[in-house]
Amino acid sequence: MSDTEAPTTITEHEAQEVARANATGLQPVVFIHGLWLLPSSWDRWVKLFEEAGFTALTPGWPDDPDTVEEANEHPEVFAKKTVGQVADHFDEILRGLDKKPVVVGHSFGGLLTQIVAGRGLSAVSVAIDPAPFQGVLPLPFSALKSASPVLKNPANRNRAVPLTYDQFRYGFANAVSEEEAHALYDEFAVPAAGAPLFQAATANFNPWTEVKVDTKNPERGPLLIISGEKDHTVPWAIANASYKQQQHNEGVTEIVEIKGRGHALTIDSGWQEVADTALSFVSRNL
C-alpha cells in the first residue's frame, strides 16, 4: 500500500465473502442495509436469492458489530460514519468481485446502491425505500418526523442514536400489528450514525455534499426503485422524485409501489413479496 492510499475498511469476514463469491463463479448479489439495522437483516433474502442461483454477500458498514446485542452494548461504534466513507467501503468490496454484481439496498442502503450504480459498479440495482440524494426535493412531514430523533439535536451529528420503541413504531413498523412491531424492534433495531441524516437533510444546500448520485452514467445499468405505500420514513413523494431523477439515464429505470407496506418491508412478515419483486426485476434485466 502506498503512503497516500487509505487503509482498507474491509473486514476478514467480508474478504472471505468476496473470495467465496469469486470461487463459485455464480452471479453475485450484494445486499446493503440502512440505518438502525445490521447485515443480518438480509438473512432470509440471502436464502431466497441463493436458491435462485446467485451467490449472496451481506457486507456491513465499517465497524458494524456482529449481533444486535453487541450493537446495543457498544453503540459508539456506529458514530461518525459519513455517506462518503460508507460508499467508498462498498466501492472497494464491489471492485473485488470478478463479476459485476447485482446490488440491493434498503433506506440509506438504497441511497448507497444508487451511488455505486452511478459509479458503474453494479450490473442491476434495486433501491428499496431509498434515502434522498441531492436534487430530490420533496420533504414530507412524516419523513421529518421519522428523522427527528436524530435531527432535533445538532450534537447527534457525531453520535450514534438509538430509536425508542415508539420512534421505531412510527418510522419503521407503522404498517404492522403492535405485536409484530415489538418483535421486529427486539430482533433487528440497533443504534445508527447520526451523520448521514444530517448530510441528507442539507444535501440540496451543499454543493460539495457526499449525498449525490451520478444518475446519467451510461454504465449505471438497470435500476428498480421499490416504495412501500405506507412508508413514513421515505414516503412515495421522495421515492418518486428519486425515480424522476434516475429516469434521465439511458438504462432501464422502473418504480413499483407495494401496497400496505411501511419502512420495515424488508424485514417484516411480508418481506417475501418485496424480495420476489426485486428478484423478478433482477432476473429480467441481467
pTM for the full model? 0.97
How far is 198 from 147, CA to CA, in rounded Å? 9
Q: Is residue 130 part of a domain?
A: yes
**pLDDT reading at 173 higher than 50:** yes
181-194: pLDDT as tens digits: 999 999 999 999 99
In this predicted structure, what is the pLDDT of residue 51?
A: 98
Share of the chain above pLDDT 90, in %: 98
In this predicted structure, what is the pLDDT of residue 7?
A: 83
Nearest CA to 187 out of 166, 170, 165 is that of 165
How far is 112 from 87, CA to CA, in rounded Å? 6
In this predicted structure, what is the pLDDT of residue 4?
A: 55
**pLDDT reading at 3 higher than 70:** no
In this predicted structure, what is the pLDDT of residue 116?
A: 98
CA dihedral 94, 100, 106, 110 (to 10 degrees): 90
CATH number, domain containing residue 171: 3.40.50.1820
Query: Across residues 58-83, what is the average pLDDT?
Result: 96
Q: Is residue 7 part of a domain?
A: no
234-273: pLDDT as tens digits: 999 999 999 999 999 999 999 999 999 999 999 999 999 9
**pLDDT reading at 95 higher than 60:** yes
41-57: pLDDT as tens digits: 999 999 999 999 999 99
pLDDT greater at residue 142 or residue 6: 142
Q: Is residue 4 part of a domain?
A: no
CA dihedral 107, 159, 196, 124 (to 10 degrees): -50
Domain extent, residue 73, equals 12-285
**pLDDT reading at 5 higher than 70:** no
Cell, residue 279: 428478484
Q: Is residue 2 part of a domain?
A: no
Share of the chain above pLDDT 70, in %: 98
In the chain, how many domains are there? 1
Q: Is residue 6 part of a domain?
A: no
CA distance readout (Å), 126 to 11, 32, 112, 167, 266: 25, 10, 11, 26, 12
Q: How does the average pLDDT of the chain come out, rounded?
A: 96
Q: Is residue 110 part of a domain?
A: yes
Query: Across residues 74-93, what is the average pLDDT?
Result: 97
pLDDT band at 66 (very low <50, low <70, confident <90, very high): very high
Q: Is residue 207 part of a domain?
A: yes
Nearest CA to 225 out of 240, 208, 203, 215 is that of 240
